[in-house]
Chain A
């Protein structure tokens, strides 16, 4: 890939200069021996301590009511429910929950033995306080559908929703509970919570040092102390090479370089990339007044042909260096994904057959099929500067060209993309542990809202299945409806149905892990690299014969 070869070239070219510098500066480093000592010390830190470089700094601090803990786990706070390695719901603070027939009232019972790290008990009042604070914080926590929250007694919380929302459960699994008595303007810097760890020190722009919370009610982690380093990708990789971290998140571009004493671990994700097609004929306008629609991509035959012509395994091997898997939907391998939506791809003949059946043919012999005098040609935009997206877009365009579809790949800024997305295909990335994402992407209620459903897709049958999914009283009961929205045997947003997207790949998240460190069974990670790896810290351990 570009990144690697550039690095290699620059390091070769710089070698002579570098040697000169090294010779010239050798005299300036008399303090070196003491540094070596301290580094040796750092490398042999006790078995119950870890140094991690797995994500960017939460600059806003560690306040769940303004967004901390949305990915991975809030670490210092605990949530009402959580998801296990199989993404199944399990209790955390809650002992039980129920949803009323109409889906509007959620009642959650709490454990009565939970204490915050300052020794005060956690009660329903704290939960009420947390949700009310989050709802009014004007932050990324979206509680606009919550009418009110009440605490009738110390172990019961009752949520009242404005409209049924089975995905409300996702907020219960991500919003960490803060203590009403210890919450103030500096809470984000000095969090108190009931989670497995407590914050000891936060050196802004550098690191956070945390220690085990003795008051924690759940399974204790094997590690007493954790140090999270906030390093850039390059710096994190350098730190791993220097042996000063136990685990580091790295981009795929670094994956071919060996680091002694560390093993590369790939974690499966739904961090996906796919091509979004404008679904309506050209000539319309979006809600914000931008031109919408595309005569080529609004033709089902084109969308299906692109889908089936693409060799997803080749994309994984060629672009992701093998660190990923083909994507056939927005929610591959998630409970609400439909396994029937998978299809045989890399089939140019099938693509040509679909095009012919759809009335497309190459009559002028230029290699591009036409219909009614219009070439099968459209633009595919990606966010300029994102190398992975660029490579995926170019490779997908090559594959579609074999079937006679001409895709012009163009890099654009986010702002520019936003304006042009309604009329051009775009390479986007999604992937969440919340089925609400599926709703946002495919429901006609979210047509043209921000980055949701930019293709202006609308199918009454899909809408109706998804409405039933939202109105279901439990996530489990909602699952079949989500799957039917994808493909119910007749229609849906899968390839077999309307094919409003051509999903390409799910990108593995890569971590360099010190030999002997066992990071347990990882969940399928959502979009966003780094933090999610910590969601099962209590399962991490050193192999007995290591270190």
Chain B
């Protein structure tokens, strides 16, 4: 009984935190947009500036409620949000919820693949490096991780694009589906092939952090007394790692992996931009550059929930993997 009650309280507290976080984040985002040098009217008009008289400008301002004081605009937006309405995007002239839903599916597929790949590869590399400490292999893995950790995502994206898209011609240079193909003819293979380069970009850069942390953690573990004891009993290599190392390093790796949701999201913005991949990232860039406040706020909420979920999952997983954490919760 107490277990269920405790979990109930736990979820309740987390939900409250999420709500206050969302409120805070949207207010801050809104204020930042107010200070941004982007003039929404000009961004809206874009290249058509020439055709628009002062009279027409005021019509546009009126149409989008840009004349109202900022506080009132934020209030109106919050009010509509409570009724489940995220507003209408200025640049796409479509409900924000529709845009996010449509693009979220694309982005989630991309990020999920990249996340799993970078997690598995990063963890394995970290383990291998630590077990073969000071060897050539260890040095190679470390060098690779340091190099990638200090390389901008978009640059990796451009390199991959050049090599596999342009020089070798193995993979498409952009988009999420083949050019000119009717929607009902697009197969899952087509979608997967178009996802390869952006997903590769994301997982390549995601590997570094997890590999380096896992390596360090495992090195600490390997230096401990009980490992010395195990070694003394003749345990070596895979057996040693499976029996005494795995549990100790999988926890930090998982935490890190779930906490990396924010970097994942940030990376996706850049990778999607380079590969013209129609995900949330592309929409975020457009919304920011063109002062589309409703869309940007919607995206901010969406990404906050996304990152929050990542951290929450890490938290919950802890409790399952390490029973000691459950007791901590009770005290």
Query: Could you pull out 12 A-B pairs where Cβ atoms are within 8 angstroms?
Result: A28-B200, A29-B170, A35-B171, A42-B179, A51-B179, A140-B56, A203-B183, A205-B103, A227-B179, A242-B165, A414-B42, A415-B38
Contact A229/B179 with A414-B39, A450-B57 known, Cβ cut-off 8 Å = yes
* Distance of B188 from chain A, by nearest CB (Å): 12
Beta-carbon contact of A138 and B63 below 8 Å: yes
User: Assuming A140-B48, A238-B161, is B93 touching A188 (CB within 8 A)?
Assistant: yes
The 9 closest A-B pairs by CB, nearest first: A138-B63, A205-B278, A227-B180, A415-B37, A140-B48, A32-B170, A142-B56, A144-B55, A528-B47
Report Cα–Cα, A434/B51, bound state, in Å. 9
Q: Which A residues are CB-close (under 8 A) to B53?
A: 142, 144, 449
Minimum CB–CB distance for A499 against chain B, Å: 22
Task: Judge whether A98 is part of the interface by a CB distance below 8 angstroms.
Answer: no
Interface contact B48-A59, CB-CB below 8 Å:
no
B18 → chain A, closest Cβ, in Å? Answer: 29
Cβ of B47 and Cβ of A59 under 8 Å apart? no
Chain B CB within 8 A of A312 CB: no
**Chain A 109-142 residues near chain B, CB threshold 8 A:** 137-142
Using C-beta atoms within 8 Å of the partner chain, give the interface range for chain A.
35 or more
Name the B residues within 8 Å of A42 (CB-CB): 178-180
Measured CB to CB, the closest approach of chain B to A283, in angstroms, equals 25
Listed stretches A13-21, A78-86, A295-303, A338-346; interface member:
A13-21
Interface flags for A28-63 (1: CB within 8 Å of B; 0: not) read 110110111011001001000101000000011100
A38 touches B178 (CB 8 A): yes
Decide if A49 touches B180 in the complex (CB within 8 Å): yes
Interface residues of A in 199-255 (CB under 8 A from B): 200-201, 203-207, 209, 225, 227, 229-232, 234-235, 238-239, 241-245
CB of A10 closer than 8 Å to a CB of B: yes
| Chain B proximity mask over A443-466: 1 for CB below 8 Å, otherwise 0 | 000000111000000000000000
B172 CB to nearest chain A CB (Å):
7
Question: With an 8 A cutoff between CB atoms, is A150 at the interface?
Answer: no
Q: Given A17-B147, A242-B165, do A201 and B51 touch, yes or no (CB 8 Å)?
A: no
Contact: B283 with A205, CB < 8 Å?
A: yes
Chain B residues with CB below 8 A from A245, complex form: 179
Bound-state CA distance A35–B172 (Å) is 8
Distance (whole angstroms) from the CB of A209 to the closest CB of chain B: 6
A242 to B179, CA, bound (A): 13
A242 near B159 with CB under 8 A, answer no
In the bound assembly, the distance between CA atoms of A35 and B171 in angstroms comes to 6
Q: Which residues of B sit under 8 angstroms from A418, Cβ to Cβ?
A: 39
Select which of A10, A203, A243 is within 8 A of B155 by beta carbon: A10
Residues B182 and A201 in contact, CB atoms below 8 Å apart: yes
Q: Is B222 among interface residues, defined by CB-CB distance under 8 A?
A: no
Tell me, in angstroms, the Cα distance from A243 to B168 when the chains sit together.
12
Q: Kindly state whether residue A22 has any CB partner on chain B within 8 Å.
A: yes
Which residues of B line the A interface, CB within 8 A? 37-39, 42, 44-45, 47-57, 59-60, 62-64, 91-93, 102-103, 147, 151, 155, 158-166, 169-180, 182-183, 189-190, 192-193, 196, 200, 204, 273-279, 282-283, 286
In the complex, whether A163 has a CB less than 8 A from a CB of chain B is no
Distance (whole angstroms) from the CB of A214 to the closest CB of chain B: 18
The one of B37, B39, B63, B172 in contact with A244, judged by C-beta atoms closer than 8 angstroms, is B172
- Residue among B50, B176, B204 facing the most chain A CB atoms (10 A cut-off): B50
Q: Which residues of B contact A35 (CB under 8 A)?
A: 170-172, 193
Which residue of A is nearest B93, CB measured? A60
Compute how far the CA of A138 lies from the CA of B159 in the bound complex, rounded to whole angstroms: 44
Establish whether residues A206 and B50, one from each chain, have CB atoms under 8 Å apart when the complex forms. Answer: no
Interface contact A59-B56, CB-CB below 8 Å: no
Give the Cβ gap from B305 to chain A, nearest Cβ, in Å: 22
**Chain A, 332-376, CB within 8 A of any chain B CB:** none
For A156-195 the 0/1 string (1 means CB < 8 A from B) is: 0000000000000000000000000000000010000000
Can you name the residue of chain B whose Cβ is closest to the Cβ of A200? B182
Determine if A12 is an interface residue (Cβ-Cβ < 8 Å).
Answer: no
* Partner of B37 from A71, A416, A440 at Cβ < 8 Å: A416
**Contact A61 B93, CB 8 Å, known A42-B180, A205-B282, A230-B276:** yes
Smallest CB gap from B140: residue in A: A20
How distant is the Cα of A414 from the Cα of B36 in the complex, in angstroms?
Answer: 11
Given contacts A140-B48, A204-B102, A206-B176, contact A21 B169 (CB under 8 A): no
- List residues of chain A with CB within 8 A of the CB of B39: 414-415, 418
Nearest chain B CB to A418's CB is how many angstroms away? 8
- For A424, what are the chain B residues with a Cβ–Cβ distance below 8 Å? none
Q: How far apart are the CA atoms of A204 and B172 in the complex, in Å?
A: 18
On chain B, the residues within 8 Å of A232 by CB distance are: 273-274, 276
Instruction: Report how far A235 CA is from B92 CA in the complex, Å.
Output: 22
> Could you tell me the distance between the alpha carbons of A42 and B183 in the complex, rounded to whole angstroms?
16
Q: List chain B residues, Cβ under 8 A from A440.
A: 50
A139 to B173 Cα, complex, angstroms: 35
Q: Which residues of A contact B180 (CB under 8 A)?
A: 42, 45, 49, 51, 207, 209, 225, 227
Minimum Cβ distance to chain B for residue A11 (Å) = 7
* Complex contact A203–B170 (CB within 8 A): no
**B48, B178, B275: the one within 8 Å of A70 (CB):** B48
A45–B178 Cα distance when bound, in Å, is 13
**Across the two chains, which residue of chain B brings its CB closest to A230?**
B276
Most buried by A among B62, B165, B277: B165
Cβ A238 vs Cβ B162 within 8 A: yes
A60-B92, A138-B59, A527-B47 known; A11-B173 Cβ under 8 A: no
A96 within 8 A of B: no
Least CB distance from A244 to B in Å reads 6
Q: Which residues of B contact A14 (CB under 8 A)?
A: 155, 159
**Are B93 and A238 touching (Cβ within 8 A)?**
no
- If A31-B193, A205-B278 touch, does A139 touch B175 (CB 8 Å cutoff)? no
Q: Give the shortest distance, in Å, between A294 (CB) and chain B (any CB).
A: 24
Residue interface bits A60-100, CB-to-B below 8 A is 1, else 0: 11000011001100000000000000000000000000000
CB distance from A211 to the nearest CB of B (A): 10
Q: Assess whether A538 is interfacial by the CB under 8 Å rule.
A: no
CB neighbours of B275 from chain A (8 A) = 235
Shortest distance between the CB of A79 and any CB in chain B (Å): 15
Known contacts A139-B63, A206-B276; can you find 16 more A-B pairs with CB under 8 A?
A17-B151, A29-B171, A139-B60, A140-B48, A141-B51, A142-B56, A188-B93, A201-B182, A203-B175, A205-B279, A206-B175, A234-B158, A235-B275, A414-B37, A432-B51, A449-B53
